[in-house]
Amino acid sequence: MNYKPLLILLGEPYSVFIELFLKTYKKYILKNKIKIPIILVGSYKLFEKQMKYFNYNFDINLINERSIDKVKNNKKINIIDVNHKFKKIFEKKSSYSNSYIKNTFRVSLKLLQKNKACGLINGPISKKHFLDKKYPGITEYIFFKSKVKVSKKPVMLIYNKNLSVSPVTTHIPLKDVSKNININNILHNVIAIHNFYKKNLNINPKIALLGLNPHCESKSKLNEEKKIIIPAIKKVSKKNINVSGPYSADTFFIKKNINNYNSVIGLYHDQVLTPFKTLYEFNASNITLGLPFLRMSVDHGPNETMLGKNKSNTESLENIFDFIYSTKWE
């Protein structure tokens, strides 16, 4: 079977991601667990020098955008070179690395828009240095640059095979959360997650929806649970989607509760990501729903403190490859 290739954008040049990829390439890809051709998008010279630094001697297949259709396997590490000038193989981030990252996104998204690839995995990127005020997060940056018109907003899903979580609002200040919650936004997340599980995992998911206020109670005139969350649950339940709630966030993440659900939707970022990362640490991946292609990324940052030490945790990238392998993603 011929598969469209999967693009892996190397991300922040001064991060641990090349180290992580080399380790997982040896463990997963060389053993032929992954049938989809994988193509890296990034600096060939930087990749080659870091590979030698970490004492790997893999063969590299340097390709260009026009020859992508000829890539059929992963016997060699396939890479599309994006020029990046550097003096040291590990050094601090700079404005020049920002233009390099933008170019890797430009190349990757262009190939995806031409239907030359099946999906995108991006390495970690420093939001503080890379993003301007126009984009609150990398998820939103990719969504905007993809020029998507089919969906209102991206849906962030933090995925582990045992449980996933999703915030209705993502990278916004806590003071703005309540005014950005409405019935349609909640429906959008619930439906996107339901469709993701059905399409990719052949599972009719059980979805839990958390409340906004402590104990799902509020004495104010605007009680979000009564006026927004419960009506949203009633509306989406008519579509034969298995969703229930609202549940109080302070006690929901105990074992007897989470074992009964596939996914938990919260109303703001830290409401669900804090308990989730406490439970699963790095064993998770970040998936963007609402794009015409599947986009995943590792669920951690560049981790500059571990540069060159060869001790970085591969769990998040392994989680991505486990998902690709188990779903036969193509």
E strands present in 192-275: 207-210, 243-247, 263-266
What CATH number does the domain located at 1-148+291-330 have?
3.40.718.10
Under the banding of pLDDT at 50, 70 and 90, the label for residue 2 is low
Q: Which two tokens stand for residue 172?
A: 């916004």
286 bridge partner residues: 158, 297
Q: Which two tokens stand for residue 270?
A: 């830290």
Range from 2-11, 150-159, 191-200, 259-268 carrying the lowest mean pLDDT: 150-159
**What is d(CA 319, CA 13) in angstroms, rounded to the nearest whole number?**
22
Q: Does domain 152-283 have CATH number 3.40.718.10?
A: yes
- Non-local (6+) Cβ contacts of 303 within 8 A are 15, 16, 124, 312
Q: Which of 25-34, 127-136, 206-215 shows the highest mean pLDDT?
A: 206-215
Q: Which pLDDT score is estimated for 270?
A: 94
pLDDT for residue 206 is more than 90: yes
**What is d(CA 37, CA 313) in angstroms, rounded to the nearest whole number?**
24
Q: Which two tokens stand for residue 155?
A: 């849906």
For 216: left if phi > 0, alpha if psi spans -120 to 50, otherwise beta; the answer is left
Q: Specify whether the CB–CB gap between 117 and 111 falls below 8 A.
A: yes
Domain 1-148+291-330 matches domain 152-283 at the CATH topology level: yes
Q: Specify whether the CB–CB gap between 161 and 184 falls below 8 A.
A: no
Q: Where are the domains of the chain?
A: 1-148+291-330, 152-283
* Interval 51-103: pLDDT, tens: 999 999 999 999 988 889 888 888 899 999 998 888 788 876 666 788 889 99
CA 287 to chain centroid, in Å, comes to: 3
* Interval 234-245: pLDDT, tens: 999 999 999 999
Mean pLDDT of 220-236: 86
DSSP element (H, E) containing 288 = strand 285-289
* Interval 252-310: pLDDT, tens: 999 889 999 999 999 999 999 999 999 998 889 999 998 888 899 988 887 777 888 88
pLDDT for residue 182 is more than 70: yes
- Does pTM surpass 0.95? no
Q: Specify whether the CB–CB gap between 204 and 196 falls below 8 A.
A: no
Which comes out higher in pLDDT, residue 49 or 127?
Answer: 49
DSSP element (H, E) containing 54 = none
Q: Cis (ω within 30 of 0) for the bond into 205?
A: no
Q: Which two tokens stand for residue 147?
A: 């020029």
**What is d(CA 58, CA 29) in angstroms, rounded to the nearest whole number?**
12
Percent of the chain with pLDDT over 90: 51
* Interval 7-16: pLDDT, tens: 999 988 888 9
Which comes out higher in pLDDT, residue 2 or 181?
Answer: 181
